Amino acid sequence: MSSGYHTSWKVPSEHREDPAYRAAGRRMDFAQAVYDRRSALGWSTAELARRAELSEEDVEAIEESGVEPTLELIERLATALEAGARIDPRSSPEFRFEGYAA
């Protein structure tokens, strides 16, 4: 049996507090939140782009963790995704879009 495969990542605590590491984590959580909400709605990247008045390339860059989640962008996407945005650095993931109760 092979034992060379990683089953989990262990990140030293000093790296977790590094600003660049934290920023990358925020971008990944944001990307996942956008993807999860868009998928839950059954929308394509083109549909989200149209509703958010962004280019499809912009939406793809967001979902690939390539865009910093600014307040303006969060508000724009929350409106387009018909959801509220929740940011909680004490939880994992730190960022979520939550649909409004019916």
Q: Would you say residue 26 has pLDDT above 60?
A: yes
User: What mean pLDDT do residues 74-99 have?
Assistant: 91
Q: How does residue 102 score in pLDDT terms, banded at 50, 70 and 90?
A: low
Average pLDDT over residues 34-61: 97
Q: What integer pLDDT is reported at residue 1 of this predicted model?
A: 45
Token digits of residue 20: 């660049």
Give the residue, 95 or 2, on which the prediction is more confident.
Answer: 95
In one-letter notation, the amino acid at residue 5 is Y
Report the distance separating Cα 31 and Cα 65, nearest Å. Answer: 5
With a CB cutoff of 8 Å and minimum separation 6, the contacts of 69 are: 26, 27, 30, 95
User: How far is CA 16 from its chain centroid?
Assistant: 18
**3-class SS at 96?**
strand
Percent of the chain with pLDDT over 70: 83
